[in-house]
Amino acid sequence: MTLLLGIDIGTSATKAVVCDADGQLLAKADSPLVSLSPRPGWSEQEPDGWWAATIAAVQEVLAEAKVSSDDIAGVGLSGQMHGSVLLPEASLLDSGGGAGVRALRPALLWNDQRTAQQCERIEGAVGGRRELVELVGNAALAGFTLPKLLWVREHEPELWNQVAAWCLPKDFVRFRLTGRLATDVGDAAGTLLFDVDGRRWSEHAHGLFDLASSLSPVVLESCAVAGRISAWAAAATGLREGTPVVAGSGDNQCGAVGAGVVEPGRVLATLGTSGVIYAHSQEPRKDLGENETPAGRVHTMCAADGTGRNRGHWSLTGCMLSAAGSLAWLRESLFPEVPYARLLAEAEGVEPGAGGLVFLPHLTGERCPHPDAEARGAFVGLTSRHTRGHLVRAVVEGVTLTMRQILDIFSDVGVKTTRVRLGGGGAKTPFWRQLQADVYGVPVELPNTEEGPAFGAALMAGVGAGVWADIAEACSATIGVTETREPDAARGAVYDELRGVYGALYPKLRGPCAALGRFDRQA
């Protein structure tokens, strides 16, 4: 029996799945993680916690699947992106196959917000945001890795002097599993130190910020074998010594693989607390902006489809911050006793356009399509005749229209959308699935798997282990579609008209929202 193990190091939990070569899920398990917030806006985790959760999840999933570790042909890793793990020289010289590797401090995570000043200096050092996007594919955001490295160097110089290497969250776990330190092109693309076009570290970026490139890990394609399970890790996890472990990738890239989004024109739209649009691209496409449009609204990354023999492709990612989270806010604030199913049924009974009521879902600032920390949410057009159903429909439409704006940015930079695969909470109700088809204007599909990044990591392990020749073959063999919904022409015409009104609101409200932020800070 040929089985594959996928591990996803998330923010709230580490998940492990075991599947066979047909994509059939045999078992899944997860182990919770604890985050630290020493100060407001700071977010950290202990890397040792990732390792402990990995051991627990792997042991549980193997026991639940009732399989021998000899049947596991390969291991793949997915992980939260951008986090900074700092390693001392002693850990790199460890001879125990990763047993002694200890981070110098807790990792700064993707959602840590302490690095605003470093981001400003990064863009200033290269001449501006557009110039930075041209160099490394992305604008400087607090969540990315380079600002974190600079913050530690500036605020903890004695600790920084001990740093012999840094890596990303899933790379630390792979180091523990194999004793070999490396990263992959997808995760590396989210550091601001990577030449996304050339799929290699940018010596120019390292030099600009006086960072020795020797500190950065070796970069591999995502499906390439990065190492093998060491004797020590085998004893700790129950896996077989010598099992190949592929490089893996970030959770967005692995999630796209897990949904079968590995070819041009196909897009993944995930509506969780935040909303993420991911598109596959045959070549690197950068959002350079023009006129008053800022550069870097969407992220140019490397796709997780390369192997040890063949270079992979690229991707675009756009993230809005309050997607299904907007609906959760509405319910919890106004009618927490009403089930979601009832609220969505009431919204479905309202005509498209919500009776002239529009909702802007910028409840926690915004990242895409408007990179603006001072953006605010709003109901516009509210009248006394609007009901609870109108409010709910306006929220669902506002979130979906914002996702459509991200698709429009993709189109502007040359990445077209022909079909959208759906994930997250917004994919669970027929009403919201159909609304997405009507707003996006293309067919939407529901894939037959919900395990996302962990399942994608397992498929990548299969490619590395030789089960399939490439990711396209792996997805074709294992992923299908359980439902397709076509856009309705009449409803689509309503949303095309509404898009014009909706698109004009953010620019008009930007100034007032920035002024109102002063009162928010006083509260």
Alpha helices by DSSP H, listed for 442-522, are: 452-464, 471-478, 489-522
Among 239, 271, 251, residue whose Cα is nearest residue 80: 251
Q: Which residue bears the tokens 């160097």?
A: 153
**Beta carbons within 10 angstroms of residue 125's beta carbon:** 14
Cα–Cα distance, 485 to 469 (Å, whole number)? 31
- CA distance linking residue 78 with residue 461, whole number of Å: 11
3-state secondary structure of 403: helix
Rg (CA), the chain: 23
Name the strand (E) or helix (H) holding 269: strand 266-271
3-state secondary structure 89-116: HHHHCCCCCCCCCCCCCCEECCCCCCCH
Residue 139 identity (one-letter amino acid): A
Residue 96 half-sphere exposure, CB side, CA atoms within 13 Å? 13
The whole-angstrom separation of Cα 184 and Cα 189 is 9
Residue 8 a catalytic site member? no
- In the 8-state DSSP scheme, what is residue 143? T
Strands 444-447 and 419-424: parallel
| Residues whose CB falls within 8 Å of the CB of residue 24, separated by 6 or more in sequence, listed in order | none
How many angstroms separate the Cα of 220 from the Cα of each of 194, 223, 247?
13, 8, 7
Structure tokens at 484: 């397709």
Give every CB contact of residue 282 below 8 A, 6+ residues apart in sequence.
264, 313, 314
DSSP for 111-175, written as a single string: T----HHHHHHHHHHHTSHHHHHHHHSS---TTSHHHHHHHHHHH-HHHHTTEEEEE-HHHHHHH
Give the CA distances from residue 470 to residues 261, 473, 474, in Å, rounded to whole numbers and listed in that order: 14, 5, 6
268 is written with which tokens? 């993944």
Q: Does residue 497 contact residue 508 with C-beta atoms inside 8 Å? A: no
- Give the SS3 label for residue 84: strand
Task: Please identify which of the residues 20, 184, 251, 438 carries the catalytic annotation.
Answer: 251
Q: Which residues form the catalytic set?
A: 251
